Amino acid sequence: MQYPDRSAYPDRNAYPDRFYPVVDTLDWVRRLTGLGVGTVQLRAKDLNDGEALQLVSDALEIVKDTPVRLVVNDYWRAAIVAGAKHLHLGQEDLATADVHEIRKAGLTLGLSTHDDAELETALAAEPDYIALGPIFPTTLKAMRFAPQGIPKITEWKQRVGNIPLVAIGGIKLEQAPEIYAAGADSIAVVSDITQNPDPDARVKAWLDQMIEPA
């Protein structure tokens, strides 16, 4: 497979990429890899240790020898054993994870936040990026937290400083310029891709948006 040329994308070495899709299957990882996405999070729930290790290993094989950075959600033990390089944890998973072992294995660490207490917890772990959500209402998962709204992005960015800030939750392509302008360094996208009637075209539109002049 010939990998798409990403040389025109700004900050193509920044992590995570400004467009950061989150998907739950190997088929999606394969599809996004072929479309030229730079950072992909694999978020599959309720797997046992063996299933998680198999999934992560298979996903890493898909992105092998491509520029794609695969981010493993939650399964930090599987990520270490399989040789992954990037990890994302929610607050509940962070509470039970061994951050020392994660860092010892050389993984980057992204963390979810929803309120002030979670932000303090996340900052104490010295993460490689912080995610804030949900920005808008989302139907994909039950959320304990109300939508944050765009102004919260600006507040969070001021508080995290140079740490990359990822906005997530119900965000569509048409809202991306306002989200970036508010201070987000990256936008994590789920349903705007996975529930789109033409996912490939939507992904390409997100990638094209990355190279448009501000």
> Residue 66 corresponds to which tokens in the numbers above?
């491509």
Task: Could you list the residues known to form a binding site, using ranges.
Answer: 41-45, 73-74, 93, 112, 141, 170, 190-191
Task: Could you list the residues known to form a binding site for Mg(2+), using ranges.
Answer: 74, 93
How many Å apart are CA 128 and CA 186, to the nearest integer? 13
Q: Do 17 and 39 form a contact (C-beta atoms < 8 A)?
A: yes
How many Å apart are CA 151 and CA 62, to the nearest integer? 38
* 30 membership: H or E segment, kind and range: helix 26-35
22: helix, coil or strand? strand
**Greatest CA span in the chain, whole angstroms?**
46
